[in-house]
């Protein structure tokens, strides 16, 4: 079984003077990234799509959910500022499922650190770019390995 931990696609810069950052939507580049994420994961056997309730996360996985004919399930344990331990607990509960989880740039590194501490093998390049995907393999009970893939904002950009 495989979990795909996705960082939301490009939403443009934060407005440091706004208290409504949680309402920020994807940029045009981000919408294109979301379509490429759907193309990349559309045939991966995913049966569930979960997301932070923030619009930029939901928008990131909506094209994939539409393609799969499933609803995006929102969960606050994937929201910005969430405790990585709670996010990891959700992932462990999904270890026997093919699922996509969309979260934020502060949560994902925390979860990866917890995975590594628990003995999950972190393979290859590490990163946390917007629109990136961590592919996390499970043996049905434990999360055994994780590998990083960057989905560039522009289709012709260098994927490294």
pLDDT of 116-125, one tens digit each? 999 999 998 8
Q: In the predicted model, what is the mean pLDDT of the chain?
A: 90
Of 97, 124, 125, 134, the closest CA to residue 1 belongs to 97
> Per-residue pLDDT averaged across 139-155, rounded?
84
pLDDT by residue (tens digit) across 7-38?
999 986 655 444 555 667 899 999 999 999 99
Residues in a beta bridge with 122: 146
Question: Is the whole-model pTM more than 0.85?
Answer: yes
94: left (phi over 0), alpha (psi -120 to 50) or beta: alpha
> Per-residue pLDDT averaged across 126-134, rounded?
94
């Amino acid at each position: 079984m495989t979990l795909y931990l996705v960082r939301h696609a490009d939403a443009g810069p934060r407005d440091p003077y706004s208290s409504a950052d949680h309402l920020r939507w994807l940029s045009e580049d981000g919408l294109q990234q979301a379509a490429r994420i759907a193309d990349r994961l559309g045939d991966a056997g995913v049966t569930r799509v979960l997301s932070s309730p923030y619009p930029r996360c939901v928008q990131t996985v909506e094209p994939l959910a539409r393609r799969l004919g499933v609803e995006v399930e929102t969960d606050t344990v994937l929201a910005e500022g969430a405790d990585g331990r709670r996010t990891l607990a959700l992932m462990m509960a999904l270890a026997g499922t093919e699922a996509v989880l969309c979260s934020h740039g502060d949560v994902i590194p925390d979860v990866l650190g917890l995975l590594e501490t628990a003995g999950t093998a972190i393979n290859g390049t590490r990163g946390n770019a917007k629109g990136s995907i961590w592919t996390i393999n499970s043996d049905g009970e434990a999360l055994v390995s994780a590998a990083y893939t960057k989905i560039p904002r522009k289709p012709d950009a260098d994927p490294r």
